[in-house]
Amino acid sequence: MRKEKDSLGEKDIEDVYYGIHTARALENFNIKNKRVNEELIKAIAIVKIAAAEANKKAGKLDENIANAIKEAANDLIVGNYIDAFMLPSIQGGAGTSTNMCVNEVIANIALEKMGHKKGDYQIINPLDHVNHSQSTNDVYPTAVKIASIKLLRELLDETMALQQELQNKEKEFSNVLKTGRTQFQDAVPLTLGQEFGAYAEAISRDRWRIYKIEERIRRVNIGGTAIGTGVGASGKYRYYVTEELQRMTGFGLARAENLIDATQNLDVYVEVHSLLKTMALNLNKIARDFRIMSSKPFGEISLEPLQAGSTIMPGKINPVGAEFIQQIYYKICGNDLTLTMACGEGELELNAMHPIIAEVFLESFELLRDGIKIFREKVVKNIKANTENCTKHLENSITKASVYIEKYGYDKLAELIKESQKTGKKIEELMEE
């Protein structure tokens, strides 16, 4: 047990790596909610390393202290000490609690590595050293964008893999002729391969959108400090910190042209998330089609049995993989509404709702990345064509009559179809009469 002090007074802190600021936040936001996203914690640690190096180069931080901060922050990046981050993702204060938690944990790790006790902040201080030249208002949004780009690239890889798998099915099913349908009614013939080719094309558009949106989140407001004016940070620091972030991430990050705007306005999140929602929408459509085509009335494809489907109906198998990806779509739609409302709550020089924005923004990337992987491996890859059923439905359908419309005309074909339905004779037979 140790005593720590802040502007509100003293508080007993147990033998943990976080300090008084985090302890108060845990009391203030004591809800059973998901913890702060781990990728965000790692991204903040990246910012702290870049800031320590920039402050060292600018002559604002002792070299030994800077190196200790960098070493401690690197421990967070590789996933160590993650249990020290207990804060819920929803919190007041525009992300200050999360930033302070990282500051405190880094300071205490560094102190231990140097042979000192946790809480010896006169040697390494969470604010004066770890947070030097920084504000939550430029650290937090910069870290959100770094985490987003990392997740975006992982999502892009999974999207490419899904597109390829759909194209594989397009080739595999290229000779499986079936009934096309509009409004759940028989329409005109097509191949099952053509259907999967259309799915692949939709995902291809999503892939291109995802590829292009990285450039929308590369501009960061680091160096702007509290409101974008850069108060408390030297010109040298602002130059060096961006340079260090570029070097560390390889993401092509650039300082925003207008740091005040970049601190005030979060519309870029709405823009980017709308494209994630669009991708989820396309996945929902594909999954719904799979459920329909695999259902008993159609039976045109077979989905891999993944689990027993009923507690009372033995042998029943449900399309759980397709249902899974559809529910991800619903969740992302909810995230989109939350994010849009929160981004619209910016007031004057800051949007205080950044924690919930970060939570749903990063979550949507993760949901799509992981959901697509599961959908591809457990559903798409294992789909089988039921050629016999496809042929049977087509033979018993009026759809094939449409291929003769140029020869016989609309009205004559309509008469033949009515006669076929009345007599049970095939269209081809009636054409010969």
Phi and psi at residue 424, to the nearest 5°: 85, 0
**Closest to 22 (Cα-Cα) out of 130, 81, 100:** 100
Using the 8-state DSSP alphabet, how is residue 128 labeled? I
Phi and psi at residue 189, to the nearest 5°: -70, 155
Residue 433 in this model has a pLDDT that exceeds 70: no
Contact predicate 238/204, CB 8 Å: no
pLDDT (average), residues 130-135 = 97
Using the 8-state DSSP alphabet, how is residue 308 labeled? B
Phi and psi at residue 187, to the nearest 5°: -120, -105
Is 310 considered catalytic here?
Answer: yes
Q: Token pair for residue 311?
A: 């507690």
Kindly calculate the radius of gyration of the chain based on its CA atoms and give it in whole angstroms. Answer: 29
Contact predicate 48/153, CB 8 Å: no
- What are the helix (H) ranges across 344-401? 354-378, 387-395
Amino acid symbol at 179: T
**Active-site hit among 310, 397, 402, 420:** 310
Say what the pLDDT of residue 290 is.
97
Residue 33 in this model has a pLDDT that exceeds 90: no
433 or 88, higher pLDDT: 88
Q: Is the CA virtual torsion 13, 18, 20, 25 positive or negative?
A: negative
> Measured between alpha carbons, how far is 237 from 297 in angstroms, rounded to an integer?
67
Amino acid symbol at 148: S
Give SS3 for 4.
strand
pLDDT (average), residues 133-157 = 97
Element housing 168 (H / E) = helix 136-172
pLDDT (average), residues 35-56 = 97
Tell me the pLDDT tens digit for each residue of 65-93: 999 999 999 999 999 999 999 999 999 99
> Measured between alpha carbons, how far is 96 from 6 in angstroms, rounded to an integer?
14
Is 406 exposed, middle or buried, given 0-12, 13-18 or 19+ CB atoms closer than 10 A?
exposed
**What's the N-to-C CA distance of the chain in angstroms?**
98
- The total of other beta-carbon atoms located within 10 Å of residue 226's CB is 17
> Measured between alpha carbons, how far is 200 from 210 in angstroms, rounded to an integer?
15
Tell me the pLDDT tens digit for each residue of 369-391: 999 999 999 999 999 999 999 88
Sequence-distant (6+) residues with CB within 8 A of 247 are: none
